[in-house]
Every structure is written in structure tokens, then in C-alpha cells.
Structure 1
């Protein structure tokens, strides 16, 4: 008996009878966000920021009758391989010790998920995360263990620093100043959500994290429930920005649960940001952006400061959609 079957059977044996009535009663309260009279907008893919090549690749998979899981993996791999994108994958800015460390997670329609954190020398952490999900009984592998697993799965060792990021790091060493400047260049993520032709949802999230972070730092991006969460009955959500603040509110899970309670994706994203800002009253020195999609293919996004947008590709076309923000004035997001 493998570990997953053991845990499942054990939980059923010890707690299943006690919780069956509760779960049954809750089931009637979990369908508020699902309007079965609406025709779902599918297939559809959305991703954080204006990553049009990534969303185009995911749409290519979906439009060819591919599934949502393959679409999000193939989509975010585009940014992982783009060395001009210095916040994701190969070419990402290093930590303060000069090492490029990558984080990623992936989640499918059945709630299966995989994650890698503090991964070095591998260009496609999202694909390693999928292997963790499919080939191991675990969810998260970290550091050297994740790297060794990747080699065992056939991934090749690569130098992730580029000439540009190496030069920037040498310049940074002159002052070694660490600040979480709220712009796309210092810390960013590509989070992607897709619904395929069958109506199934999957999500992926990948990043190189904050530039010049403390060695070993991990943000929200590879944490299921924080940087990404999918519930195939309800929808999915993903986050970008300063991960510490997203982790504190388990942001993506929160947004999906708000949609379960009947909020639209837009309303849920707004509530997610507002809860963070309530805990950080008066603070303006960080950026958070949430993106969500529900089972019907309706989308929403909201952020702390102006500037966040998301890409959407569906049967009506391909567009970059600006997000509304908590702070409305442009000068509010200029930090001295």
C-alpha cells in the first residue's frame, strides 16, 4: 500500500464517520459561486503581468484540445527560458550570495500539486514541480534534494546567471543595499490559470524571487494556498509581489474560498488585498497583485499600487487587462 492510499484509508477509517454529516451539510453551502445556468467561457488562460508569449503558448495547447495542466506548464516555461526576463527562470537575478535560486509550484484539477523551493542550476523549475507531483508521494522538495531529484529525472545542469545579471550583481555588491522596490524589475512572478475545453482548471506559478534576497529566502510563489490555489468546483487564484504579505493571509486560498461563498473573482481579489492592507495600515512600501478566475471563466484582478495587469486569452481574443488598485494615485507608488 503506497503512502497516499495509506493516508487516505487511515483518515477515512478514523475520522470519516465523524465528519460525514458535517461535510454533507457544508456541501449545500459551497455552490453559491457556481451558476450552472451560465455558459462557461472556455477554453481560457490568464497570467499575471503582460506575458503575451506565455499566454499565447498556453492558448496554443488549449486550442489544440490540450488539457489545462499541460497548458499552464508549457505557458510558464516560455518565461522561464526567456533570459531577458530577469525575474523568472534562467537569467533571474541572484540572491545576495550570487546564486540564482528558483521556486515554482503547479496544481491540477484533482487537487494534486507539486512544488520546488530554493532550486539551483535547473532552468525549468515548473517542470520539476510537476515531476514531484506525479512521481513522488510528496508535495515540496527543497534545495539540494530538489536539484538531485531533477537530475535523476533527466533535467540538465545549467548556469542560470547571464552576462547581464552577473554584471548587475557585481554593481549591487558596491553598496549591498537591500530594498523591496515596488516594481516589476525587482520582484515578480508569472502565475497562470487555465480552463480547458472540458471545463477543468489548473494553475502554475514560477519565479526567481526577490533580487539580492537573503540566501534561502522563499516567498509565496511555490507555496500552495499562498501563491497559487485551484479548486475545480470553484476556480483558481494566483499572486505576485512581496510574498511575505501573501503568505500571512494565505492569499490565493482565501480568494478561492471567497468565490466559493459567492463573490465574483473581482470582488474576491479586492477583498484579498484589503485584508492585507488592513494588517498594514498606512504602509505603501510594497506591491501585491491578485488574479483569479472562476468556474465560468470570469476573471478579476486587484493590486496595492497602480501598474499591475494580466494577460487573458479566450475565444474572443488576446488582451492585456489593467488592474484596479487600492491606492489610486500614481504618486502613491513612488517610494523614496
Structure 2
């Protein structure tokens, strides 16, 4: 009886785990994990395609999310992400980004000017300094020292949009403005948040944004704040956020979502519970602002939730059916306000 039990245990371990050199078993690889990449908003489809190209070649989740974010920063022309972003109220375009590996390593930059790829500078901060975040002139100085080229990024279209805004200088966050992005649109917040799970069962995530249009000079939102706009833990899962960043900072939102998954919630349940906490703490503000969470656990299960209807996320994997998929998120409020 004992021999039979030992045989079954050995067989199950061999069938259900990834063998390592020397006959060891990799117990850290989650059972049934599916390589997958997910991103916020419909423009996440383009970011996912680039990221999936990395994963399909056997690349790491960290390389994948950096590649996807770089696409958004340079190839996408969007009023709230990267080179086509709208400036602050002083007419200055500043960029924020963060990147995090599932092993806890992370890096970020904030209020960075005239550098095309802030997410790659954030990765350099993670890998080449003892720090987590660099900001402003110091971030730019570091980027140049690492070989990044200074390039004026404010486009003529964004400059004209800023001049038009100056006629009234009114600032009001717009719910779901992200879905109506065109160069120069007067929309004023968004993030590309991207999460990936690779074939080895490792997670990573990245965020990149030009922040709120017409923000006060020096304002930093949640995107470069580890635990607010992004958090990743190989033992549990990953989460990212979009919308008005101040609400994510106030609630350490992405960390909260991951911790709720650690306690046993599914990604969708964790996102919903985090959103409900925002509503409980600031019920009146929640009616005027959009806040969205996107999460993936270590098995590759994905979920999202938002304050207001209209948040969509993109998913790409190697499974059956269409690889580029857009999903509508459930929300607290059923109507899509503008």
C-alpha cells in the first residue's frame, strides 16, 4: 500500500510539474499557466501584439511588457500616452512610467521631459541603480547618461490644443476620454497598463503615460507609483490601474488588488472589491471620476472592474479563437457618463 501511494505521488509530480535539470521539480511554476498579455483600453491591442511577439519567441514577461509599452510611447499617437501627449498647464509635456518584475524588482521615472521611452529608463533605474524612482531633471540626466537621446516631444497639434485650452483654462476630468483619443483631443487622463505571464510562469507589468492634460506642473499620478498604478508578485498575480490617478494613490490600489487575490479572490472579485472601497471612501467623487482596475493571477486568469461603464481591456494569448480580443469591464455605475 505504501509503495503504491509513493508511486502515485511520484507520477503526479512528474506529470503536473516542470522538470528541471538533474530531475528536480520546479514547484514555483503554477499549474496550467497560459502565456498571456493584457492591456488597458482598446489601444492595448497594438501593445499586446508587440508584447506577444516577445512571448511567442520564448522571451520573458519583463521584456514583453517593456516592448508593448515602448510601442505605445512611440508608435501610438495618443493624447495621453507618449510622444503625442498633451502638456501640463504651463505647456510642458512630462512623461511617467514604471516597470515591475514578479520577483519584486521595480523601477520608475516621473516628470521626465524629452525622452521617447520612459519605460526603458524606468527599467534602467531598476537594473542599474540602487533606487526605485527618479524624477524630473535627475531622471533626464540619468537617461542621457545611459545613452537615451534627448528629443523635443511636444507636437504642433498638442501645442495648439494647449493654446485652445488657455482660452478658458478650465480643468475637468472626463470619464472614458481614453476611448475617444485623437492627437490634440482635450481629454485629460489615461495610462497604458500592460501585464504579461510568460511560458515559465513569471509575471511582469508596466505603465506609461503623459498624465493628465493641463495638470499643474510637477503633478505626478499613479502610473509611476509602485503599488498604486502597478504591482506584481509572482506568488500571486499582477494588477494595473487607469483613470484619475489620485484615487489609485489614495488607496494603494494595485497593491490592494494583488493582496485581495492573495487572500483568495479571483482577479475580477479583487478588482471589484477595490473599486467598492473607492466608492465607500469618496462616494460623491466617485460619481464624477473614472477608476479602472485590470488584474491577472499566476494561473493566467484575468479580470477587471471600473467605476463607470465604458472601460475595455485587450487580451492576447496563444489559445484557440481570435488572439486579439477586447473585453468590456463590469462597473459600479451602469451608465457611461461623459
Same fold (TM over 0.5): yes
Deviations 1:84-106 (A, max 9, x none): 21111111100000000010000
Partner of 1:318: 324
SS state at 1:301 partner? strand
Give the alignment partner of residue 45 of structure 1, picking from 37, 43, 48: 37
Partner of 2:224: 222
1:156-171 to 2 correspondences below 5 Å: 156-171=149-164
1:139-178 to 2 correspondences below 5 Å: 139-178=132-171
Partner of 2:23: none
TM-fit CA distance, 1:173: 1.0
Partner of 1:301: 304
1:196–1:37 distance in 2 versus 1, CA, 3 Å? closer
Q: Partners of 2:38 and 2:29 in 1: how far apart?
A: 22
Moved over 2 A (4+): 34-38
Contact 2:30 2:299 in 1 (8 A): no
Deviations 1:95-137 (A, max 9, x none): 0000000100000121000000110011110000000000000
TM-fit CA distance, 1:66: 0.4
Report the TM-score, using the length of structure 2 for normalisation: 0.86
Q: Partners of 1:37 and 1:121 in 2: how far apart?
A: 41
Aligned CA-pair RMSD:
1.5
Contact 1:95 1:212 in 2 (8 A): yes
Partner of 1:98: 91
Partner of 1:329: 335
Contact 1:82 1:91 in 2 (8 A): no
- Asked if 1:209 is matched to 2:211, the reply is yes
TM-fit CA distance, 1:37: 8.5
1:1-336 to 2 correspondences below 5 Å: 38-40=31-33, 42-50=34-42, 51-82=44-75, 84-182=77-175, 183-184=177-178, 185-283=187-285, 284-316=287-319, 317-330=323-336, 333-334=337-338
Deviations 1:162-219 (A, max 9, x none): 1210110111111111111222132110011001010000000010000000000000
1:288–1:133 distance in 2 versus 1, CA, 3 Å? same
**Structure 2 residue ranges without an equivalent (≥5):** 1-26, 179-186
1:83–1:91 distance in 2 versus 1, CA, 3 Å? farther
Report the TM-score, using the length of structure 1 for normalisation: 0.86
Aligned length: 298
Deviations 1:135-179 (A, max 9, x none): 000001010000000000011111111121011011111111111
